[in-house]
């Protein structure tokens, strides 16, 4: 992989070396690592956020709680997880579009969206979405009218953000479960909208 | 969802490409998931506070971004790894020397050895 002669070990070898040393020192139980990885690969992901969005679309009281106390409203659903000291949910509306970034590293509401996609962590997205959000969103396939105000929320260790997208037209009769199935991760980051199935 | 893309800096294909579906893998390579799990495990055991790791991660990313020549591709989990190693060094939990040594031992294994974690 890497063929620098000053640093011949690959990141994979270094990670393995770290794990074996930490286990030897009694600092780590490798079984615990397996469990954590499995949890993030299988159980924690944007389906949780989608359920929250669908609940907010169908239950006005829940929506109010979600917008005033995101952390509490997520806890009500039984979703807990690391990296969620405080969650703020930002609501899209006809004239306002919200989008989330972490300019310094990769802060992201793990407990409701899982781990961030690669593009979210890349320098291009992190720097450009702040400078030229409309252009970046257009490049990502989301074209907003010029009148729509775009608000960019910069996540930090203290506050994580999630977007509450607009409920698509034509979904009045849909159940909460059907609605949840329409909500994609990207809409909850704010780089896409939710559309009703054709 | 979006089939049209971009002239500018956002790549069209590859792991850094903008989203077109939700089907993205969480980790690109197995070592990344091990490293992630290691970091969380130590944090959950109270070896360090998440904020402390985050500070190191931000510094490692800033360091990469401040380098003048961006010949090499940005690799997030390599920044993560540098941050994690630094944190362990600063807490005297794992020295650079023992880590280098162990890593080179592993590198010296015959090619094609099994990558299972046998401990």
ipTM above 0.85, yes or no: no
The whole-number pLDDT of residue A8 equals: 62
Provide, as residue numbers in chain A, all residues whose Cβ is less than 8 Å from the Cβ of B95.
none
Contact present, B54 and B8 (Cβ < 8 Å): no
Judged on CB neighbours under 10 Å (0-12, 13-18, 19+), A68 is exposed
Closest partner CB to B74 (pick from A82, A122, A139) = A122
The whole-number pLDDT of residue A82 equals: 60
Residue A127 falls in the annotated catalytic set: no
CB contact under 8 A, A124 and B10: yes
Tell me: pLDDT of A6 over 50.
Answer: no
CB contact under 8 A, B16 and A119: yes
How far apart CA A106 and CA A115 sit, in angstroms, is: 9
CB contact under 8 A, A21 and B9: no
Q: A41-72: per-residue pLDDT in tens? A: 888 889 899 999 999 999 999 999 999 999 99
Q: How confident is the model at residue B74 (pLDDT cuts 50, 70, 90)?
A: confident
Q: B1-55: per-residue pLDDT in tens? A: 333 332 334 444 544 444 433 456 678 888 999 999 999 999 988 899 888 998 9
Closest partner CB to B81 (pick from A14, A20, A32) = A14
**Who's near A16: CB < 8 A, 6+ residues apart?**
B31, B34, B103, B106, B115, B117
B47 — contact with chain A (CB < 8 Å)?
yes
Q: A147-176: per-residue pLDDT in tens? A: 999 999 999 888 999 999 999 999 999 999
Closest partner CB to A105 (pick from B1, B54, B81) = B54
- What are the beta bridge partners of residue A89? A162
Q: How confident is the model at residue B96 (pLDDT cuts 50, 70, 90)?
A: very high
Q: A88-121: per-residue pLDDT in tens? A: 999 999 999 999 999 999 999 988 998 898 899 9
Q: A121-153: per-residue pLDDT in tens? A: 999 999 999 999 999 999 999 999 999 999 999
Between strands A87-91 and A160-164, the pairing is parallel
Tell me: pLDDT of A194 over 90.
Answer: yes
A interface mutation test: which of B44, B103, B119 has the most A CBs within 10 A? B103
Q: What is the DSSP string of B37-86?
A: HHHHHHHHTTSS-HHHHHHHHHHHHHHHHH-S---SPP-HHHHHHHHHHH
B28-54 exposure pattern, b = at least 16 Cβ within 10 A, e = fewer: ebebbbbbbbbbbbbbeeebbebeebb
How far apart CA A119 and CA A128 sit, in angstroms, is: 12
């Amino acid at each position: 992989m890497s063929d620098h002669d000053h640093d011949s070990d690959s990141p994979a070898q270094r990670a393995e070396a770290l794990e074996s040393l930490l286990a030897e020192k009694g600092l780590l139980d490798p079984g615990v690592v397996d469990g954590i990885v499995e949890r993030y690969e299988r159980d924690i992901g944007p389906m949780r956020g989608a359920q929250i969005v669908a609940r907010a679309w169908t239950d006005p009281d829940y929506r109010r709680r979600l917008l005033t106390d995101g952390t509490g409203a997520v806890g009500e659903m039984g979703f807990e997880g690391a990296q969620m000291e405080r969650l703020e949910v930002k609501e899209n509306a006809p004239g306002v579009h919200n989008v989330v970034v972490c300019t310094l590293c990769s802060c992201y509401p793990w407990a409701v969206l899982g781990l961030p996609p690669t593009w979210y962590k890349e320098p291009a997205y992190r720097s450009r979405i702040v400078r030229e959000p409309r252009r970046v969103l257009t490049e990502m396939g989301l074209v907003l009218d010029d009148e729509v105000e775009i608000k960019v929320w910069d996540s930090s260790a203290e506050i994580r953000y999630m977007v509450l997208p607009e409920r698509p037209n034509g979904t009045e009769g849909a159940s909460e479960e059907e609605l949840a199935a329409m909500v994609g991760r990207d809409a909850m980051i704010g780089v896409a909208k939710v559309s009703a199935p054709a | 969802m979006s089939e049209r893309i971009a002239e500018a800096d956002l790549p069209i294909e590859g792991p850094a490409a903008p989203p077109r579906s939700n089907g993205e893998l969480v980790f690109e390579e197995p070592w990344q998931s091990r490293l992630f799990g290691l970091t969380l495990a130590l944090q959950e055991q109270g070896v360090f506070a998440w904020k402390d790791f985050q500070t190191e991660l931000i510094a490692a990313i800033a360091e990469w971004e401040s380098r003048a020549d961006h010949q090499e591709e940005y690799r997030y989990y390599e920044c993560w790894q540098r941050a994690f190693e630094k944190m362990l060094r600063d807490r005297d939990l794992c020295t650079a020397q023992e880590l280098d040594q162990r890593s080179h031992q592993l590198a010296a294994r015959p090619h094609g050895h099994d990558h299972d974690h046998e401990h």
